[in-house]
Amino acid sequence: MELRVLQYFLAVTREQSITGAAEALHLSQPTLSRQLRELEEELGKQLMIRGNRRITLTEEGMILRKRAEEIMELVKKAEDEISLSDEIIAGDISIGAGETDGVRYLARAARALQKRYPLIRLHIVSGDKTTVMEELDRGLIDFGLIFGEIDTTKYEFIQVPYQDTWGVIMRRDAPLAEKETITATDLMDKPLILSRQAFQNHNFREFFPCSQEDLNIVATYNLLFNGSLMVDEGMGYAVSFDKLINVSGDSNLCFRPLEPKLEAGMHIVWKKYQVLSRAARHFLQKLQEVVLD
């Protein structure tokens, strides 16, 4: 039984489909199916039931998944111990992240790591949660900085000790600019500019006493800078996080927090069973130190 095949098996249990696992592993579906059949033949047991839409594990398959997870964890620990003895650590670390002041934690970890390993480079790929998770699942990035709920069956995570505050960006001459805080009632009849994934947030949905269809949503954005331009041109009010758009000095815009206060926590996530590069593993270790500091 090869480690490579165990990784394939775990990928199928994670994706719950051979097609999805083949895409994540960058293999053809026939190749992956053949590897799984050979694994079942080697063990003399059926490991999974192949349905029309998803894979279901047999009792033997569930036993193998548990043991395979333990094996891969031991392999990872061995790799970590060996890699720590290397004097030269270099490479690229790619992180998908939404717009948030929490990116500072990534920058602090990278700066501290580069003092010891100057050949490590950090790449931030901007995007909303949907985009970040798609790229993480496809193996295009190493980590994701996301808000909201996490599928712990698919991802490992670190909670970042920072919360973004929801509020409204508006023109300084807008009627609501006279208020110190903004309630849901204030926004019910206003033209709104929202993040395209805002209503995926449970707390955000509960803030409004109505469905998304009952709001006057005139536009959506996935990067707030574009949303702020729409606000500046008088299209409406953008609901967003604080500290992302400059509203100081001679800016034509201002920010007002929501009332009651609404915050969003964030996590650094990465795929379970993913074999991280040495640079990525060192970054993860440094990030944990920064978060706990």
Partners of residue 97 on adjacent β-strands = 126, 145
Q: Kind and range of the H or E element at 89?
A: none
How far is CA 26 from its chain centroid? 21
pLDDT of residue 172: 96
pLDDT string in tens for the chain (293-residue length):
788 899 999 998 988 888 888 888 888 989 988 999 999 999 999 998 887 778 889 999 999 998 888 888 878 767 765 665 556 788 889 999 988 888 999 999 999 999 989 989 999 988 888 889 988 988 888 999 998 788 888 999 999 988 889 999 999 999 999 999 999 999 999 999 998 777 777 777 788 888 888 899 999 998 889 999 999 999 999 999 998 898 988 899 999 999 999 888 899 999 988 888 888 999 999 999 998 87
* Token pair recorded at residue 196: 């395209």
Helix and strand totals (H; E) in the chain: 10, 11
CA–CA distances in Å: residue 110 to residues 90, 106, 118: 12, 6, 10
Distance CA 181, CA 176 (A): 9
Q: What is the DSSP letter of 244?
A: S
| 192 neighbors 236 (Cβ within 8 angstroms) | yes
Q: What is the pTM of this model?
A: 0.66
Partners of residue 220 on adjacent β-strands = 194
pLDDT of residue 80: 65
* Token pair recorded at residue 195: 């993040």
Q: What is the DSSP letter of 198?
A: G
pLDDT of residue 188: 93
| 268 neighbors 249 (Cβ within 8 angstroms) | no
* Token pair recorded at residue 89: 């650590």
